[in-house]
């Protein structure tokens, strides 16, 4: 065989098998990243529920145990209402100072001086801020002697800045089920509904938004996720 003979050069580029392997590897990487994000958000929601939300519920109860009244009420003439009147909010510096005045330790929030706020990321990776306030509501719906419901005065913890994902996880944690109308945790406006349950008004009452909604009510997949407001009824 002449020395100048060479075998045909291998055609450049990927074979179908090689392309398939590359695509499978890319899919596995994307899947792993997605699963990792889901695991991270689930762990973050658990931390928010156990350390921040539960921490503020415990702080509230310790205030009551130590002072004999709910936060902001008048010990000399107690009304049983937060701040001694309906719809007046105890938030931010006023909430912090009132708790510290009674020697109540505060949960770790966003930073020192901002313990009633907590920063987290939504399902799109955008920052969101959850905030705790306390107030009294005159229209908390509870079962009446008839088929419907009646409203009563109740002290609540208000949670603003709830993404749908976080709202559902906290609701399941606090009530054991996801339901915006019933139980101890409810969505704003759903908390006061007094209509009876019927075939046209089923028991299932989902929260008003899901993670497909963006902050402005649209459906942009890369935008900041819409947030909602929830109430958690306090023991006293």
Q: Which of 21-25, 110-114, 195-199, 213-217 has the weakest average pLDDT?
A: 21-25
125: DSSP letter = S
Q: What is the pLDDT of residues 179-226, one digit of tens each?
A: 999 999 999 999 999 887 765 655 678 999 988 888 777 777 778 899
Class of residue 199 by CB neighbours under 10 A (exposed 0-12, middle 13-18, buried 19+): exposed
| Cβ atoms of 225 and 181 closer than 8 Å | no
Residue 9: band (very low, low, confident or very high) from pLDDT cuts 50, 70, 90: low
- More confident: 148 or 66: 66
pLDDT of the residue at 120: 94
Q: How confident is the model at residue 145 (pLDDT cuts 50, 70, 90)?
A: confident
Helices (H), the chain: 16-47, 54-67, 92-101, 164-175
- What is the tens place of the pLDDT at every residue in 28-68? 665 555 445 555 567 788 999 999 999 999 999 999 999 99
Which of helix, strand or coil describes residue 165?
helix
Task: Report the pLDDT averaged over residues 137-164.
Answer: 92
Q: What secondary structure letter does DSSP report for 201?
A: B
Hey, where are the domains in the chain?
A: 16-233
């Amino acid at each position: 065989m002449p020395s100048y003979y060479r075998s045909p050069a291998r055609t450049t580029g990927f074979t179908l098998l090689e392309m398939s392997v590359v695509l499978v590897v890319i899919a596995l990487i994307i899947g792993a990243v997605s699963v990792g994000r889901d695991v991270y958000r689930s762990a973050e929601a658990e931390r928010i529920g156990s350390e921040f939300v539960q921490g503020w519920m415990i702080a509230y109860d310790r205030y009551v145990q130590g002072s004999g009244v709910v936060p902001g009420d008048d010990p000399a003439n107690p009304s049983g209402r937060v701040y001694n009147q309906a719809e007046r909010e105890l938030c931010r510096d006023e909430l912090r100072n009132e708790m510290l005045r009674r020697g109540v330790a505060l949960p770790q929030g966003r930073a020192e001086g901002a313990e009633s706020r907590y920063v987290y990321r939504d399902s799109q990776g955008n920052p969101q801020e959850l905030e705790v306030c306390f107030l009294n509501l005159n229209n908390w719906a509870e079962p009446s002697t008839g088929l419907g419901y009646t409203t009563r005065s109740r002290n609540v913890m208000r949670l603003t800045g709830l993404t749908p994902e976080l709202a559902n996880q906290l609701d399941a944690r606090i009530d054991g089920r996801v339901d915006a109308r019933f139980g101890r945790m409810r969505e704003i406006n759903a908390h006061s509904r007094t209509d009876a349950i019927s075939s046209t008004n089923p028991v299932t009452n989902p929260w008003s938004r899901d993670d497909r909604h963006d902050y402005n009510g649209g459906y942009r997949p890369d935008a900041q996720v819409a947030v909602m407001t929830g109430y958690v009824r306090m023991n006293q």
